[in-house]
């Protein structure tokens, strides 16, 4: 067991090139106040530093690098960083809002296509883009940018976050993607919108869905699929909600125990490097950091577990029976309550709603 615990192979890393963005999305976890942009820019890692991190990451045996932000394409030196990192040989992913896809960027991507591109899309109309992202013109830019990116051999996924301001277009966003780009492109939705982290300024609480609407949205997709398959005789009352826990007998013999630092892959097989060079378990959890600029990436990864000090959970969580369906992790606890042991009421309510919907026989079978 001791050997297993010590086996920490970093497989994937996120490079958060910047937390600046050309959009001002209400629900953004990382966006800072615009007044901070100059200070942020000055303290961002240089292209040379990111490329050196990529060199070190390759030596560490890392397979996948995700370029994320903020909006990574906002950086003037993005082409230099991208090409320099790419040359070291990784499975490259990119998260972008697709509004800054210039001919120069397309030339770069045609030469070095990302393996996967996640395109954020937050509305089906310019009006909704204005409300959610602060820019109506961003809508057409995102459509045009997406169309260009779709000419690449990359795997493309559209990603959306639904808040109060675009809830009315949640289906229209999927329709838009289908009509503009074809049926084969899925739109994945954020499961739960957490409060902003690491000094970001978004007032997420005022714009995110109520837990009830959020769960309804989560179920909407599977209900829509059933409706399409069954047709006019479909009655929503006949739906039974099961929670996806496989309890087949053969599972008893499968190894289920896995050692980790935080209950997930963060800090065990993946990490994020922030815009200013801090190594974290994931982009969300800023409570534990090591300085990758000071120590180098490899050393920062090696000493990272020493930083982790986890308090016992809130007593409500300790005695809760909904642990199997609870969406909480240390990152969400910290983002929501400011404490690693805190009980995030939003996630708590989410679990209670799901529990009330679950077909009870499925829980005891």
User: How many residues sit close enough to another protein to count as binding (CB under 8 A)?
Assistant: 20
Least distance CB 65 / another protein (angstroms): 11
Q: 62, 11 in Cβ contact below 8 A?
A: yes
Applying CB under 8 A, among 36, 84, 112, 298 the residue interacting with another protein is 112
Look up tokens 């997930």; give the residue: 264
Q: Is 260 in the site for another protein (CB under 8 A)?
A: no
Closest CA to 278 of 307, 256, 253: 307
Least distance CB 74 / another protein (angstroms): 24
SS3 187: strand
Applying CB under 8 A, among 22, 49, 52, 63 the residue interacting with another protein is 63
Q: Pick out residues in 64-103 that bind another protein (CB under 8 A).
A: 86, 88-91
| Positive or negative torsion for Cα 4, 6, 11, 13 | positive
Which residues is 66 bridged to in the sheet?
14, 93
Task: Kindly indicate which of the ranges 19-27, 44-52, 55-63, 136-144 contains the residues binding another protein, using the contact rule CB under 8 A.
Answer: 55-63
Tokens coding 40: 């942020």
Buried b (16+ CB within 10 A) or exposed e, 262-296: bebbbbbebbbbbbbbbbbbbbbbbbbbbebbeee
What is the distance between the alpha carbons of residues 301 and 60, in angstroms, rounded to a whole number? Answer: 10
What is the distance between the alpha carbons of residues 138 and 217, in angstroms, rounded to a whole number? Answer: 25
Task: Kindly indicate which of the ranges 13-21, 46-54, 104-112, 127-135 contains the residues binding another protein, using the contact rule CB under 8 A.
Answer: 104-112
Q: Is 115 in the site for another protein (CB under 8 A)?
A: yes
Least distance CB 96 / another protein (angstroms): 17
Least distance CB 58 / another protein (angstroms): 6
Q: Pick out residues in 138-197 that bind another protein (CB under 8 A).
A: 153-155
Asked if the bond preceding 70 is cis, omega within 30° of 0, the reply is yes
Q: Is 255 in the site for another protein (CB under 8 A)?
A: no
Q: Is 58 in the site for another protein (CB under 8 A)?
A: yes
CB nearer another protein, residue 109 or residue 158? 109
Tokens coding 126: 């310019």
Applying CB under 8 A, among 69, 70, 79, 114 the residue interacting with another protein is 114
Rg over CA atoms, the chain: 21
Buried b (16+ CB within 10 A) or exposed e, 159-193: bbbbbbbbeebbeebbebbeeebeeebebebbebb
Least distance CB 281 / another protein (angstroms): 18
Q: Pick out residues in 299-328 that bind another protein (CB under 8 A).
A: none
CB nearer another protein, residue 170 or residue 270? 270
CB nearer another protein, residue 58 or residue 201? 58
What is the distance between the alpha carbons of residues 170 and 49, in angstroms, rounded to a whole number? Answer: 40
Q: Is 259 in the site for another protein (CB under 8 A)?
A: no
Q: Is 11 in the site for another protein (CB under 8 A)?
A: yes
Applying CB under 8 A, among 76, 111, 248, 319 the residue interacting with another protein is 111
Residues that bind another protein (CB under 8 A): 9, 11, 58, 61-63, 86, 88-91, 110-115, 153-155
């Amino acid at each position: 067991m001791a050997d297993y615990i010590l086996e920490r192979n970093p497989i994937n890393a996120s490079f958060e090139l910047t937390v600046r963005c050309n959009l001002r999305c209400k629900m953004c976890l990382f966006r800072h106040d615009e007044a901070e942009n100059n200070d942020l820019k000055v303290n961002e890692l240089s292209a040379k530093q990111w490329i050196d991190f990529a060199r070190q990451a390759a030596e560490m045996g890392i397979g996948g690098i995700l370029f994320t932000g903020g909006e990574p394409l906002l950086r003037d030196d993005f082409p230099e960083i991208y090409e320099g990192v790419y040359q070291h040989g990784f499975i490259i992913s990119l998260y972008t809002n697709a509004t800054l896809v210039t001919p120069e960027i397309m030339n770069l991507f045609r030469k070095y296509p990302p393996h996967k591109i996640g395109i954020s899309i937050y509305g089906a109309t310019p009006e909704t883009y204005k409300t959610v992202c602060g820019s109506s013109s961003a809508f057409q830019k995102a459509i045009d940018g997406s169309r260009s990116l779709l000419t690449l051999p990359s795997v493309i996924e559209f990603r959306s976050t639904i808040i109060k301001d675009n809830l009315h277009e949640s289906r229209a966003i999927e329709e838009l993607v289908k009509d503009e780009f074809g049926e084969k492109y899925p739109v994945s939705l954020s499961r739960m919108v957490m409060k902003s982290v690491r000094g970001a300024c978004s007032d997420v609480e005022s714009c995110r869905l109520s837990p009830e609407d959020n769960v309804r949205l989560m179920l909407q997709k599977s209900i829509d699929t059933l409706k399409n398959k069954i047709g006019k005789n479909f009655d929503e009352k006949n739906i039974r909600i099961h929670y996806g826990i496989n309890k087949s007998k053969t599972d008893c013999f499968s190894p289920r125990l896995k050692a980790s630092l935080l209950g997930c892959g963060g800090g065990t097989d993946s990490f994020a490097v922030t815009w200013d060079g801090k190594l974290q378990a994931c982009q969300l959890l800023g409570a534990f950091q090591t300085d990758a600029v000071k120590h180098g990436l490899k050393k920062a990864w090696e000493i990272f577990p020493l930083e982790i000090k986890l308090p016992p959970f809130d007593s409500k969580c300790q005695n809760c029976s909904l642990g199997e369906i609870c969406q909480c992790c240390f990152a969400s606890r910290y983002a929501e309550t400011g404490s690693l042991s805190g009980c995030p009421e939003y996630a708590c309510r989410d679990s209670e709603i799901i529990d009330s919907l679950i077909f009870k026989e499925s829980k005891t079978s």
